[in-house]
Amino acid sequence: MDISVLGGLAVRENGVSITPSAPKPRQVLALLALRADQTVSVAALTEELWGQEPPRSARATLQKYVLQLRELITAALASDPEGAQPRTAKDVLVTVPGGYLLNSSGGSSDVRDFERLAGMGYRAMAANDLPGAARQLEKALSLWNGVALADVQTGAQLAVETRRLEETRLCALDQRIEADLRLGRHRELLGELTVLVSRYPTHETLHGQFMLALHRSGRRTEALEAYQRLRRALIRELGLEPSGGLRRLQQTILRAEPEGVPHAPALADGDEWLIIAR
């Protein structure tokens, strides 16, 4: 089974799509696919589909959606090459005590691939292998084709999952940009960072990276303007001033001291930035 969720939902068995077009069965498959090879409880599926007030027919309706998915799986299994070990739809979409399990049979998952490549990138950063970190993190990020589950209506369960995935993507993006900044690729980053700070107007790490890239490109005034835009957005939306680390970065640029390289906030320092002079 091949599972893709980092963009639109696409699930294939034997290369044949088993992704339904109807919204509710699509939600069921999305949650099962995100938690492939793990039990998804009836309660979780019910909450996803109907929230905290499911209809009396919820269990019967859920069983109907599972049956529809199994019909798609049965059609896909019919394309098994000769000699393959026979399987049924119930072997793929398994009924287990209290719920269901989507058996991927060791197939591919873009989420698993992303997490594996991002982990390699983080380890390379920790070892100060900046080219390796940038390369692995870029490979991880290239697996994304838009917002996770962009074509699936989401209930409570999928909303949590998509937020989690977006946070992991942002973390990998922060680290890849940091690696590129340390490698002196500030000019190449300007276009990408311009888009990112517009998309995430209160994201301090991205704004700090944008300020550094501008400053190192000889665009000091624009770097200071970027700080002021962030400050206005933070005050307007959150009632907060920029963090102490970002204020120090602004002062560094104001004084035209040697530029620094930002790190993602360290756990021990809360939201403070670590600025390392070059």
The tens digit of pLDDT for each residue in 230-273 reads 999 999 999 999 999 999 999 999 987 544 444 433 323 434 34
Q: Mean pLDDT, to the nearest integer, of 144-167?
A: 95
Domain 2-105 indexed as CATH 1.10.10.10: yes
Residues of the chain with CATH 1.25.40.10: 185-278
CATH 1.10.10.10 intervals, the chain? 2-105
d(CA 230, CA 200): 10
Cβ neighbours of residue 178 under 8 Å, at least 6 residues apart?
Answer: 125, 209, 261, 262, 263, 264
- What is the per-residue pLDDT across 50-64, written as a single tens digit (0 to 9) for each? 999 999 999 999 999
Which superfamily does 185-278 belong to? Answer: Tetratricopeptide repeat domain (1.25.40.10)
Task: Note the pLDDT of residue 79.
Answer: 78
d(CA 101, CA 91): 9
